[in-house]
Each structure stands twice: as structure tokens, then as C-alpha cells.
A and B are shown apart, each in its own frame.
Chain A
Amino acid sequence: MGERDWAIEARGLGKRFGEVTALDGFDLAVPSGTVHGLLGPNGAGKTTAVRVLATLLDSDEGSALVGGVDVARDPQEVRRRIGLTGQYAAVDEILTGRQNLELFGKLFHLGGRRAKARASELLERFDLADAGDKGVKAYSGGMRRRLDLAASMILAPQVLFLDEPTTGLDPRGRGEVWTAIRDLVAGGTTVLLTTQYLEEADQLADEVTVIDRGRNVATGTPSELKNRVGGDQIEVVAAEGADLAAVAAAFDGVSTGEPTVSTEHRTVSAPVADRVAALSTVASRLQASGASIEDITLRRPTLDDVFLRLTGHRAEEEASSPEAGSDGPLAQPATYETGADARTGADGIPDERESTEAEGALR
């Protein structure tokens, strides 16, 4: 393959579950030592892609190399090179944190003595030393997530799969996990991160891939992706659906792209260049037009906007539980004012743990 050293290289991955096509010719290339974000709405294929790459699932078509090893031909060798954390790789709730790490250390073939030493080392490092001998049942969401992360790092893996590692964590927990991920990358680990938060991708990812309907629809740096969306957005919420056309007209000549109208949410949004001037122009036009307005906001582009622009449909279209957690300020990045990017659920796999953690973070 080219001159670059790829940690993950997937070509034309296809996977069907009965009638449902989960992956449809999915390509992915992640250079070694980088963080790669995998973004996509519910049911887009994020989960399936990670499960195939982590040797949990066989693909029907295509091939994938992880750490230079073919996942289909030598899965056991791949398993020596990867770590997996997130909604589908958990820790044992009955055991203590230390017992968990010792068990996994033994199963990673470190032998009893080294497994024990490694467990202590990781507990210390993930700030769990005091809770190490308590049952995991008693852990908070953030502690559990850190233990999960520690368990994935027992062998200091070459490639780490992180599935929504901070979903439901409070800002402090989120910051801690981010720090841990940055440390890992500094140590040479390549990270594939699935996330619903554009900000998380912004903070951590060198590059981002947007996946939709089982395909790679865009790959680029976070700023490249946001530029495609067109920077800041003005969003207007109309009181009456009938006023939507009038509202859209108020954007004429102000917006840098076509206004997007959602009759379902009675919103019109459009990208703008000159933030404050554009806002006041639109506001005064709306006042003159007599349209009845519920709300008008100026906001940064959200993941929803990225999806809308790249895929032509909203992320939430496929989400089964719309608005879940959208009003939980701690469950989403502070810089975004709308709940748009918190709406996508847990990527197809219902996970009660996630929701309880989200509640825990709000308390």
C-alpha cells in the first residue's frame, strides 16, 4: 500500500443482516499514531464497522487490515494488537476493579504476577486506586468508563477502538477521558473513535470520517468538514408552519447557502458569513414581514448540520428516541446551544447503562 503507514485499512466492507444492509462498500484508512473520528447517525453502520474491525463480526465482502494484519485471516493476531472500549465491551460488574483488570491481564497472557502488577499500575493511572477493591457495581458512570478504558489498555495496544467513550459523562469526566486518550496517542497508539459529538471529534481527531447508510460519505479534518457545512448558522423557529416560506425569504442575499426548511420542527436554518450583521438583517426583515417567530438563534454548525449537508437527511431521522437528553446541558458540549448533536442515540444498540449514566451526570 502507499508510503503511509496505515494502522487501519478497510476496503469495500459489506455486511448484511437479513434484509438490512449495514455496511455497503465501506472504505476507511487511518494513518498510524493518529486519532480518527467515525461520525454517523443511528443505524449508519458505525457499530458494524467497528465490530468487523475488532474481529467481533465477519464481513460478507471486502477486506480489512488492522495493525497490518488481516482481520479475517488472522483474527487472533489482530486481537493482540487492539483494545476495545465502549458500549459493546464492558467490565464485570460483580468483580472489583482490580479483579477485572487482573482477569483481563491473565487472559491477555501476562501471567498472574505481571497481571497483578499491571492492574495496580492501571488503577493508579486512571485514578481508580482508592476504588480498586470496591465492586464495579458501586462505581459511578465516569469511574466505570475509566476502568473500561484501563481494561482496553492492558497490553498498550497498537490500535484502540473507542465507542462513544464520553457519552453520558459530565464535563469533568469527559475531560479526564480526553486527557487519557491524548496520552495514549502520545505513546503511539492509533485511536478509532466513534462519537456523536462534533466537538469531541474537534478536540481529539486528526481526521473524521462521516458514515451514512453503510458508506464512507466524507473524510477530512474537522475544520474541513465544518467548512463544507458553511460555518455559523442562523436558525429561526416559526410559530406557525404557514410562515415558513416567509421566514425562508428573509434569508435572501444574507445566507451563504440555501436555507434548510424543516416543516416538522418549523425551523429554517442557513449558513451565514457575517454573523451579527446577518442576524440583525434577518431579524428586521422578519419583523417587517409580520411572520410570527418563536425563536431566533445564531449558532455554530452541529453534527446535524454536517449530516444534513453531506447526506441530505437529518441525523435524527433514523433515531428511534428523538430529543432524548437534548435538554441535558451536561450531556453535550458546552459550546453548542442546540441539542441537535445529542439526539442521535447509541448507534442501534440500546444500552441502558448509557442512559443511567446520563441521568447520573445530571444529578
Chain B
Amino acid sequence: MTTETTAAPAADLTPARHSALWWAVSDCAAMVWRGLLYYKREPSMIAWQLGFPIVSVLLFVYVFGSAMDVGGGADYKAFAMPGMFAMTMAFGFMNTAYAMVVDKEKGVMDRFRSMPMARSAVVSGRGVSDLIGAAIDLGVLALIALAVGWRSDGGWLQTAYAFVLLLLLRFALIWIGIYLAMFVKGQEQAGNLFAVAFPFGMLSSVFTPPSLMPDWLGFIAMWNPVSSTANAIRELFGNPVATGNSWIEQHAMEMALVWPILITLVFLPLAVRKYQRLSR
């Protein structure tokens, strides 16, 4: 540092003038830019996020696969791959929560909150960049699935719609992630969220049809939002669905829309309110 410098900046520092909405979008874009820089600077992040789904696929398809019978002589691989996509989306809320907790713990959140940026951008930027991250995750997973022999027998449109449904589930879970992050004290505690994520992802139709589980467990698994998404995309991909005759399983296509919308309607206001109340 040189002593002759002064506080006077070389350039004009008057903030540009735009409407509040313009700034809400622009600040969100800046936060998304930050989120994407993370992937560029630490590409290993993707590996960490996908580590569990990939290992579980290898485990279920190659280790347990020969012993897995989902009924009707269906190919287990074709059954399990869509399940894995859905499970990855389900676990995604942990990534959201973890990123928020780190920002909170390190004081970055406080810096954002002490700046004249749009108040919504911390939350909306997180949401959009996590959605882009989820799309990257799905892309990598789809390539792995293709490599081990999974195929979508649905048309282009159905296949695309299946991925939209997956991202919709992930979108809904962003708000649960942000909401939970507001309660979590530190990074170690954030790791404990796995205790929530694990049953949420596994107690579903992801790896086995709920109709093959004990009644009470099957009931929980059937009504798990992850199951609806998993069943809906199986149908769209033309993969074996292995559903029972319950109402919830018969209406997977509808419920794959209803569940995420419901979750969003409940947790988005809760998350935003909790975020605003950080100043209490």
C-alpha cells in the first residue's frame, strides 16, 4: 500500500439508476454468476454432489441388481435409473442448505445484507444457480446412465418433459433447503441434514416398488413426493413403472406437478420470511 493514495476514486461511483424490478433481476444475475463461478473454480463440487447417487447406482444395479425383482420381469436397470435421477434431485436440498449455511457462518451473508442490493437476490440467486447446478448434475447422470445401458423409450418431448419434472422437484426443494439453513448453526450441523435427506430419498419408489414393502412403509413411500416424480418420469421414459393400484400411484403424472407446487407454496414464503427475520 502506498501512502500517497487517497480515498477519492478515479471514476464516478454513482450507482446506476434503474427500477426496483430491474435491480432484482440484475442482482439475481450477479448472484447466479457467483454460483456458476463456484463450478468453474471448484469442478470437484460436481463429483461431491454426485458421489452418492453414482455409488448407489453401481451398488444397486451391479451388486444387488441380480437379486432385485420389481415384478413383471422388468429390467432392474431401467427401473433404477429414473429413480436415481429423482433421488439426486431429492438430495439436492442439502446442497442449497449447505451453501446458505456457509455464507451465513463466514459472514458473507452479512455483507450482502449490509449492501444496497435487492433483498430478494440472495434467495433468488441461490435458487436459480442451484437449478442450473441441478441441470448440470442431471446431464452428467444421464451420460452415466446411458453409459451403463439405460435408454429412454419415450419421444423427445416426453423425455424433455421428464427432465422438466425432475427440475421442478428440485426447484421446490430449494425452498426447504433455504428454510432449513436458517435454523442450522454451522457447517458440522449442516452435515447432519443427511439424516433428513437419506430417508426422504430412500423411503420411496426410487429403488424398490412400495407395493413390495410392508404396508405401513409402502404407504409412506407411495406418498413420498419423490415417488410421484420417479413414477411419472418412468412412464415418460417408457421405463418399467411397477406401480400398485393405489390412487397416489395411479396419479403419478399429476402428483409430480402437484407435490412440487404444494411444497413451493408452503416453503417459499416460510424461507423468505425466515430470511427477512435474520434482522430480529
Where the two chains meet, the residues of A that have a C-beta atom closer than 8 Å to any C-beta of B are 54-58, 76-77, 79-80, 82, 84, 87-96, 99, 103-104, 106-111, 114, 117-118, 121, 125-127, 135, 146, 151, 153-156, 176, 179-180, 183-184, 186-189, 353
Contacts and interface: CB of A to CB of B under 8 A. Distances in A.
Contacts of A88: 107, 110
A84 B6 contact: no
29 contacts: A55-B114, A56-B278, A57-B279, A57-B280, A58-B279, A88-B110, A89-B107, A89-B114, A91-B111, A95-B37, A99-B34, A99-B37, A106-B33, A107-B27, A107-B30, A107-B31, A107-B115, A107-B121, A118-B9, A121-B9, A125-B1, A126-B1, A154-B13, A156-B7, A156-B8, A186-B7, A187-B8, A188-B7, A189-B7
A108 B9 contact: no
B7 A155 contact: no
A151 B111 contact: yes
Interface of B: 1-3, 5-13, 15-16, 18, 23, 26-27, 30-31, 33-34, 37-38, 41-42, 106-108, 110-117, 121, 278-280
B125 to A, nearest CB: 10
Nearest to B9: A156
Contact of A118 (B13, B34, B38): B13
A86 to B, nearest CB: 8
A94 B41 contact: yes
Given A89-B114, A121-B9, A184-B7, 13 more contacts: A54-B114, A57-B279, A58-B280, A76-B116, A93-B106, A95-B34, A96-B41, A108-B117, A118-B9, A153-B7, A155-B13, A176-B1, A179-B1
A276 to B, nearest CB: 38
A161 B121 CA distance: 24
A189 B8 CA distance: 10
A186 B4 CA distance: 11
Given A103-B34, A121-B10, A179 B3 contact: yes
A111 B114 contact: no
Contacts of A106: 26-27, 30, 33
Contacts of B10: 117, 121
A108 B15 contact: yes
Nearest to A152: B111
* Chain A to chain B: the 5 pairs with minimum beta-carbon distance, closest first: A187-B7, A90-B107, A109-B15, A79-B116, A107-B117
Contacts of A117: 10-11
A30 to B, nearest CB: 17
Given A57-B279, A88-B107, A179-B3, A114 B34 contact: no
A96 B23 CA distance: 24
A188 B280 CA distance: 32
Contacts of A94: 37-38, 41-42
Task: Name, among B1, B106, B108, B115, the residue most crowded by chain A CB atoms within 10 Å (CB to CB).
Answer: B115
Nearest to B12: A114
